[in-house]
A and B are shown apart, each in its own frame.
Chain A
Amino acid sequence: MRVVFKKSYDPDIDLHEHGWSRGKIVVLLGIMILLPFFVGEYYLAEAANTLIWALAGMGLMIAVGHTGQVSLGHAAFLAIGAYTDAALMNVGMPFWVALPAAGIVAGVFGAVIAIPAVRMSGIYLAIATLAVFVIVEELVILLEPITGGVGGIMAPTITFFGISFDRYGELENFYWLTLGIVALVTWGYANLMRSPTGRSFLAVRDSEVSARALGINVTRTKSLAFGLSSGVTGLAGALMGHYIGFFNYELFSIFISINLLLVVTIGGLGFIQGAFLGAILITGMPQVIAILRDNLNASTGIDIGSIPGLDTMLFSVILILFIIFEPTGLYGRWLKIRTWFEIFPLARRDMFRRQKSYLKTERMK
Chain B
Amino acid sequence: MSLLQVKDLAIHFGGVKAVDGVSFAVEPGEVFAIIGPNGAGKSTIFNLISRIYEPTRGTIHFDGKDITGLKAHDIARLGIARTFQNIELFDHSTVLANLLMGRHTHSTTNFVQNMLFMPKVRQAERAHRKRVEEVIAFLELEAYRKKMIAGLPYGVRKVVEIGRALAIGPKLILLDEPASGLSVEESQDVAFWIEDMRRDMGLTVLMVEHDMSLVTQVSDRVLAVANGRPLAMGTAHEVQADPQVQAAYLGTPGEEAA
Same assembly: yes
- What residues of chain A have their CB less than 8 Å away from a CB belonging to chain B? 9-10, 12-13, 188-189, 191-192, 194-200, 202-203, 205-207, 209-218, 224, 228, 270, 354-355, 358
Nearest-neighbour CB distance to chain A for B127, whole angstroms, equals 10
Contact A206 B92 (CB under 8 A): yes
B168 contacts the other chain (Cβ, under 8 Å)? yes
Contact B76 A213 (CB under 8 A): yes
CB 8 Å contact bits of B81-122 with A (1 = contact, 0 = none):
110100011111100110011111101010100111100011
The answer, among A199, A207, A213, for a CB contact under 8 Å with B72, is: A213
- Please give, as numbers and ranges, the residues of chain B lying within 8 Å of A215 by CB-CB distance: 73-77, 104-105, 168
- Please give, as numbers and ranges, the residues of chain A lying within 8 Å of B111 by CB-CB distance: 192, 195, 197, 224, 228
Nearest-neighbour CB distance to chain B for A231, whole angstroms, equals 11
Give bound CA distance, A76 to B109, whole Å: 31
- What residues of chain B have their CB less than 8 Å away from a CB belonging to chain A? 50, 52, 71-77, 81-82, 84, 88-93, 96-97, 100-105, 107, 109, 111, 114-117, 121-122, 124-126, 128-130, 133, 148, 150-151, 164, 168
The answer, among B105, B115, B116, for a CB contact under 8 Å with A214, is: B105
Taking A9-B130, A214-B76, A215-B104 as contacts, is the C-beta distance between A191 and B168 under 8 angstroms? Answer: no
- Please give, as numbers and ranges, the residues of chain B lying within 8 Å of A198 by CB-CB distance: 114
A-B contact count (CB 8 A): 124
Nearest-neighbour CB distance to chain A for B240, whole angstroms, equals 31
Nearest-neighbour CB distance to chain B for A17, whole angstroms, equals 10
Taking A9-B129, A215-B104 as contacts, is the C-beta distance between A196 and B109 under 8 angstroms? Answer: yes
Nearest-neighbour CB distance to chain A for B143, whole angstroms, equals 14
Taking A214-B164, A216-B73 as contacts, is the C-beta distance between A200 and B82 under 8 angstroms? Answer: no
In the complex, 26 of the A-B residue pairs with CB atoms within 8 angstroms, ordered by the A residue number, are A9-B125, A13-B122, A13-B125, A13-B126, A13-B129, A191-B115, A191-B116, A192-B111, A192-B115, A195-B109, A196-B107, A196-B114, A200-B101, A200-B104, A203-B90, A203-B101, A206-B89, A206-B91, A210-B89, A211-B101, A212-B52, A214-B102, A215-B75, A216-B104, A224-B111, A270-B92
- Please give, as numbers and ranges, the residues of chain A lying within 8 Å of B72 by CB-CB distance: 212-213
Q: Which of B52, B88, B109, B115 has the most CB of A within 10 A?
A: B115
- Please give, as numbers and ranges, the residues of chain A lying within 8 Å of B76 by CB-CB distance: 213-215
A contact face: mostly helix, strand, loop, or mixed: helix
- Please give, as numbers and ranges, the residues of chain A lying within 8 Å of B125 by CB-CB distance: 9, 13, 194-195
- Please give, as numbers and ranges, the residues of chain B lying within 8 Å of A205 by CB-CB distance: 90, 92
- Please give, as numbers and ranges, the residues of chain B lying within 8 Å of A212 by CB-CB distance: 50, 52, 72-73
Give bound CA distance, A198 to B115, whole Å: 9
- Please give, as numbers and ranges, the residues of chain A lying within 8 Å of B116 by CB-CB distance: 188, 191
